[in-house]
Structure 1
């Protein structure tokens, strides 16, 4: 039987091609492979990416100063040069102040070495009386130390020279990158807009401004926190009569740029020196107590007063970022971990599909405030006190 003739007036519905859907396992497998390749590239290209990352952070910090100079009829090139000179003057002042203290501490090292040997002998005598430990003589300790120094002396000199050369080279790269970023910032913005639809450019511009605000607030707030912590540490150590109190106070406050871990390192060294100098464990514990108390004030009062919720990252995310940054890029990665995590949080909050990850990185109090419809812009009591003091 023949099929009925097709009616030409009947519209034909086009056959839609079936969409090929990948299984979730395949999707997440490709995602993990992509993340692994990203981590591998970041680790292998650290000599290139680290100067770029520091340059980007400092560019965001110097951008308001450069714009202010340009608004006062200063040419862009001259404004950028003035910004770079300001950075060099600040770093030179820090190095000179810190170097003078370091020189005084270095002059006292022979005396500290002698007292350290006395403490070492006392510890060996105690171990011999309690556990029958066969103590080493002073000459044996000196001979073993000199042999190890002779074996590794050449490598230490080579490492020092290589480190100095690398620091100077990276500093030159950072200054060049900062100049280029500030000079070509309009060109870079137009380049970024070419990847974005015209109706979404306002959102992208708002996200970039938010990133700049977060990084600027973090770094400027960190500088203020370092100064205040250095003053408090210095007062506490001077009251305890600790030698080189100013040096250790500055040293511990500078290490505060490494969150959570820096203060531990900064407290351990002066505690050991105090134990060797005085022979009193209670005095060493008092030194640690000063740093712990100042750390408590910094975490609960000083930082909330100065930075507020500009970088609202929960402690778990900060610790994980610190560990990952150290594993990826070493100490520079630990320094960059918190501002880069703050930048990621701003990007995640602005991009709807990644908004849950921004919520995961954020502090718990921020989520509770949002849930209770509380205003995040309302200053706390300590913030109001700080604003009145600095007004």
Structure 2
């Protein structure tokens, strides 16, 4: 019988263990983030690698898949950098266009809010103080950039080794458990390996449909380079919830700020509002559907925790990792209640 004292002891141990687990993951981001990213990417390209291995040796297939993933990631970054460069080139024109709008906003704020000229001056002074620390921010940015590039390249090295030597890892998992548990372990490995590619397939279809919807709405609204902006906004949905906000901000930057036309801003807002409604209530349930069996509530929790631990990369990895954890829990009898809790399927006695 569990006493109140032992219950308190177990509860305290769980809370402290969870705290130090996430604290350790945060501190070890430089090691675990590239490794977990590589594991998810390896699972994504695993079906393609297995097909390629029927016609070539495994090391060559692993190299080609690693290079393919690298080329896709470089292409996506090139799209974003092209759009940012275009925005930078148009900045003088944008600044000239938006100056009257900013003055109108100041006049409106002074008339209809408690703000006065002193508040505006203080805001200008604080922004100038921030500008004085530009050199420090540049140094921090360069340091972060070098760390990102190192982890970025390391990820694809991991992908190669995971694909090429995956049988070793599978044999290891099979042998560390008793013989009577091997069928369960095999089932868990098989089902877990399907989570990431199924999730990505659903996301790719969803991104294609979103790109079409965004292109129609932004094109009608009069946004420059609306096709490119739509594609980038659709790709950003890989970052749950936050990606939609970034996409909207980018569309405003390349649409409203460039033209200064309020009708463009209204068109952008309507486009994203309608598209997000269609995505949430039509496309997401039927396109992604049952590809990742995680309850929506725990999807939000996982994304928040991922952001707290590893930032954007944690948010991207949160859903497929949560899907794999749910598969594992559902196939272990002792932990099945937790799997049922995380799953969005209804289980009957």
**Match for residue 32 of structure 2?**
49
Distance in 1, Cα, partners of 2:99 & 2:293 = 47
Larger Rg computed on CA atoms = 1
**Match for residue 312 of structure 1?**
293
8 A contact 2:174–2:182 mirrored in 1: yes
- Give how far 1:130 is off: 4.0
TM-score normalised per structure 2: 0.89
C-alpha RMSD of the superposition? 2.8
8 A contact 1:321–1:337 mirrored in 2: yes
**Match for residue 204 of structure 1?**
185
Distance in 2, Cα, partners of 1:77 & 1:294 = 43
- Give how far 1:101 is off: 2.8
Q: Which runs of 5+ in 2 are unaligned?
A: none
After superposition, give the CA deviation of every residue in 1:256-302 in whole Å (9 maximum; x if it has no partner): 11222321332244346645455555542331221121122222332
Distance in 2, Cα, partners of 1:157 & 1:185 = 41
Distance in 2, Cα, partners of 1:96 & 1:272 = 18
**Match for residue 62 of structure 1?**
45
**Match for residue 64 of structure 2?**
82
**Match for residue 19 of structure 1?**
none
User: What does residue range 1-391 of structure 1 map to in structure 2 within 5 Å?
Assistant: 23-72=6-55, 74-130=56-112, 134-135=116-117, 148-149=130-131, 151-271=132-252, 274-277=255-258, 279=260, 281=262, 283-363=264-344, 366-367=345-346, 370-371=347-348
Distance in 2, Cα, partners of 1:33 & 1:60 = 32
Higher normalized contact order (CA 8 Å, seq sep 6+, divided by chain length): 2
Q: Which has the higher helix share?
A: 2
Distance in 1, Cα, partners of 2:110 & 2:80 = 42
77 and 248 in structure 1: CA distance in 2 versus 1, 3 angstrom threshold? same
Task: Answer with 275-284 or 26-35: which moved more.
Answer: 275-284
After superposition, give the CA deviation of every residue in 1:105-128 in whole Å (9 maximum; x if it has no partner): 221112112223221111122233
Q: Secondary structure at the match of 1:23?
A: helix
After superposition, give the CA deviation of every residue in 1:116-149 in whole Å (9 maximum; x if it has no partner): 322111112223344585448x999888755532
8 A contact 2:188–2:327 mirrored in 1: yes
Distance in 1, Cα, partners of 2:272 & 2:113 = 34
8 A contact 1:102–1:247 mirrored in 2: no
TM-score normalised per structure 1: 0.80
Q: Which runs of 5+ in 1 are unaligned?
A: 1-21, 374-391
8 A contact 2:90–2:258 mirrored in 1: no
226 and 163 in structure 1: CA distance in 2 versus 1, 3 angstrom threshold? farther
Distance in 2, Cα, partners of 1:170 & 1:120 = 41
Aligned length: 346
Distance in 2, Cα, partners of 1:291 & 1:362 = 30
Distance in 2, Cα, partners of 1:282 & 1:326 = 35
Distance in 2, Cα, partners of 1:141 & 1:333 = 34
